[in-house]
Structure formats: structure tokens, C-alpha cells
Structure 1
Amino acid sequence: MVPSFIMHTMTELKQAIEEIVEKHLPDENHFIVEVKMSEKSGKKLLNILLDADEGVTIRACAKLSRAVSEELEAKEMMPEAYILEVSSPGLDFPLSSRRQFQKNINRELKISLTSGEEIEGKLLEVSETGVKLLVKKKKEKGKKATEEEISLPFEEMKKSIVQVSFK
């Protein structure tokens, strides 16, 4: 029998690992943001970013880490020493899925567009094709700032970051 770690490409290995992670998610509330493989100090680093509609706990990360590690070992998918990290994306990690946008409705976002323009506004709505933001329009001298709803398609967004407010 040929060990499963003899895979044709890194893409196939990553896809197989994503399937294992998906199978071991704690519940339907949790979802994968990213599975990334890289090198760190000469060892393979397998980084799994986990998110949830109501937040990720350390317990959920630990449980997923144990289950994924056990299955990777049992199937001999990682031929050499590796480091497995399971965590939630940090505040500065760009939103990458509709589900992440959905959980951040009513929060302030800073969106970099493919045109190079940056827009900040309150996330009001998420659709199949994009988002709706409430954006403050600059005020003219002597006038109050106004707010305007704008729609942005996902394909025009390069990067979207949730803005932290300390108000």
C-alpha cells in the first residue's frame, strides 16, 4: 500500500486537509476561513483559520486541532515533521467569505477597491453579489455631513477589514 502522503501536488494535499478539517468542525456554526501551508524554521507549518457565527473559543480550536492531527497521523499525510496551528482570524485579517461579511453586519468596514480607492462605512446588508454600506459624505463648508447607502459588488473589493471602535 502506498502511503497517502505521496500526493501529486500541494494543491491536492491542501484540498484533502480542507476536507478533513470540514469533517471535524465542532458544529454548523463554525466554518473554515483558510487552510495554509508554509515553512517555518525548516518545518512545515499547517495553519487553519477557523471562524464561527458567534465567535470561536479556545476549546473549539483545541478540539479541532486534536481531531485533525490524529487523522493526519493515521493517514500518514504529512511525510515530515510539521507544526499545526488552529486559530481564529485576527481583527486585521481581511474578510474573505460572504459568511464573514454576514457576521459583521452593523460594524464599520474599511474596503480597498480594485480601482485603488478606499471606502469606509457601516455594513448594512450582504447579498449573493456584494454588500451595502452606509457611508458618510464629506460636508461642504457650513453644512452637516450626510450619509448615503452605496452598493459594492464583491468583484470590485480587493480587501475588507473590520474597523475597531473604542467609543
Structure 2
Amino acid sequence: MTSVDSAIQEAIAPIVAAANLYLEGIQISSAGKHRVIRVLVDRIDTQLPLSLEEVTAVTKPISATLDELAILGERPFTLEVSSPGVDFPLKLPRHWKRNQGRLVAMLLKSGEQVTGRIISSDDATASIEITPGTTVEVLLSDIARANIEVEFK
């Protein structure tokens, strides 16, 4: 994380927390003389998606704070605030808890690929139903990559 990333995170974390959201990440990219600052926020304690109203409510104070942040200087930027989205990788225990009941595709560090439904999880493991009635316990530390699979019903 760069000093700019750290300064932004430190400045906006209280705003996000006050909205009862979690600051999932910050991404800064450049396009010539212009910057794009992407802020990813998510709910702390529910599987419900963020509403447009919630994103808008947190965007305004974040924008005002960034406008005053000296480390950004005079270089113009565009602010994008959103939720991580379905393609965001599951990396932390809270990601697994938030996605309980959803279909996940994993690549284990051993090279094995596992697809199944997240039944439950804790800080160290996830219970994955790979076929009806067959559940496996996977150590989160053994997972190289995991993403939610989109299901169409």
C-alpha cells in the first residue's frame, strides 16, 4: 500500500464505519493527468446487497474528505464508490461468512479445484457441500483462490 493509499484509507475509514459499512479496499489508477479513486465498501453483518441510497450516502462525505486531503494535491480525480461485486475474491473469513449459501469455485494450493456451496465458515475453515449430502471441510489457509459462481435460476 502506498502512502497515498494509506492516507486515503485513514481519512475515509471513520466515514465508512459511521455508515455501518466495512472498507473493503481502495484502488487508485492513473489516466494521464487524471486519477480514478475506487473505494470498495460492503455491509458488515448481512448478506443483503448495498442499496444505491447507501452507496450515495457514503459517497458524499468521502468525496468531501478527499477534496480536502492535501496528499492528493491539485491533480483532478474521479471518485467511484461501490460494493466489491460478485467477482471479488474471497480472501478473509468475513467474506466466507457473508457468502454462506452461495456457490463457490476454489483453487487449492495443492492444485485441486473444488466447487460447492458454502454451508458454514469460521475464522479458519469453511464447510463446502460438493454434492448433495457430501460436505468437506477446507482450511482457508489452503485456498489459493476462491470466487463466487454466478447462478441463474
Taking structure 1 as the reference length, what is the TM-score of the superposition?
A: 0.78
Q: Which moved more, 1:40-49 or 1:122-131?
A: 40-49
CA RMSD of aligned residues (A): 1.9
The answer (yes or no) to whether the contact 2:33–2:76 under 8 Å persists in 1 is no
Contact 2:40–2:82 (Cα < 8 Å) also in 1: yes
Query: Quick check: which one's helix share is greater?
Result: 2
Q: 1:44 aligns to what?
A: 35
Instruction: Give the equivalent residue in structure 2 for 1:139.
Output: none
Contact 2:105–2:114 (CA under 8 A) maintained in structure 1: yes
AA in 2 matched with 1:60: E
Task: Kindly indicate whether the alpha-carbon contact (under 8 Å) linking 1:33 and 1:96 is maintained by their aligned counterparts in 2.
Answer: no
SS in 2 for 1:24: helix
Q: State the Cα distance separating 1:27 from its structure 2 match.
A: 2.9
Partner of 2:51: 57
**Distance in 2, Cα, partners of 1:75 & 1:107:** 39
CA contact (8 A) 2:19 2:58 kept: no
Partner of 1:152: 138
Higher mean C-alpha displacement, 90-99 vs 104-113: 90-99
**Runs of at least 4 residues off by over 4 Å:** none
Distance 2:106 2:13 in 1: 29
Paired position in structure 2 for 1:129:
124
Q: Distance in 1 between matches of 2:79 and 2:92?
A: 23
Q: Which residue of structure 2 lines up, in the alignment, with residue 66 of structure 1?
A: 60
Report the Cα offset of residue 41 of structure 1. Answer: 4.7
Length-normalised TM-score, structure 2: 0.85
Runs of 5+ unmatched residues, structure 1? 1-9, 137-145
CA contact (8 A) 2:12 2:65 kept: no
The C-alpha deviation readout for 1:26-84, integer Å capped at 9, x for no partner, is 533x2122111121354222111111123211122222222112112223231111111
In structure 2, what residue type is equivalent to 1:37?
A: I
Q: How many residues align?
A: 148
Q: Equivalences for 1:7-156 in 2 at 5 Å?
A: 11-25=2-16, 26-28=18-20, 30-52=21-43, 53=46, 54-79=48-73, 80-136=75-131, 147-156=133-142
Task: State how far apart, in whole Å, the 2-side matches of 1:102 and 1:41 are.
Answer: 40
Deviation at 1:100, TM superposition (A): 2.0
Identity of aligned residues (%): 22
